[in-house]
């Protein structure tokens, strides 16, 4: 399957922007607030606000902030995929800075736009989220879940 040059360029731009946001937003939050302040704030997640349950992405921002602070265990406790998102984004941005456009295209489409990687990450996140939900629901009452939502 052939992809046009414009599509490839747009894909690279979007992935670059997304990677910058993944690395930049938690950094800005860390620099503008204390760690305890960030821990106590209500989640920005629309799914959690509506249901009181964490979505698969809940905790990724806090996870990356904890990484910046050097707290690996805390980072993994917030969300294991925060570490994955950070590493993949940092790796991609490093490649983007160090290599020429042609080399970036080859690596990007070989490693980052990879069906096996995408399926593996999706299955991994699904299994991880199922386990997280099980432990979340076993350690929270219905009232606790409601307090996490906008329906409290």
- The span from the CA of 95 to the CA of 147, in Å, is 43
Q: What is the pLDDT of residue 39?
A: 67
- pTM metric for this prediction: 0.78
Domain count, the chain: 1
Q: Residue 44 in contact with residue 139, Cβ under 8 Å? A: no
Q: What is the mean pLDDT of residues 73-91?
A: 93
* Letter string b/e over residues 93-131, b meaning 16 or more CB atoms within 10 A of that residue's CB: beebeeeeeeebbeebeeebeeeeeeeeeeeebeeebee
- The span from the CA of 39 to the CA of 50, in Å, is 20
The percent of the chain in helix, strand and coil, each rounded to the nearest 5, is 80, 0, 20
Range of the domain at 116: 2-148
Provide the pLDDT confidence category of residue 4 given band limits of 50, 70 and 90: low
Provide the pLDDT confidence category of residue 138 given band limits of 50, 70 and 90: very high
Range of 34-38, 43-47, 89-93, 121-125 with top mean pLDDT: 121-125
> Percentage of the chain with pLDDT > 70?
88
Q: What is the pLDDT of residue 109?
A: 74
């Amino acid at each position: 399957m052939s992809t046009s040059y414009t599509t490839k360029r747009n894909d690279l731009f979007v992935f670059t922007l997304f990677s910058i946001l993944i690395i930049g937003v938690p950094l800005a939050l860390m620099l503008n607030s204390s760690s305890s302040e960030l821990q106590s704030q209500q989640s920005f997640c629309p799914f959690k606000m509506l249901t009181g349950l964490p979505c698969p992405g809940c905790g990724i921002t806090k996870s990356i902030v904890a990484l910046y602070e050097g707290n690996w265990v805390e980072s993994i406790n917030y969300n294991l995929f925060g570490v994955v998102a950070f590493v993949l984004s940092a790796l991609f941005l490093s490649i983007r800075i160090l290599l020429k456009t042609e080399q970036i295209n080859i690596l990007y489409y070989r490693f980052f736009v990879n069906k096996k990687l995408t399926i593996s990450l999706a299955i991994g996140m699904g299994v991880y989220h199922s386990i997280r939900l099980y432990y979340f629901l076993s350690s929270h009452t219905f009232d606790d879940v409601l307090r996490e939502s906008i329906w409290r």
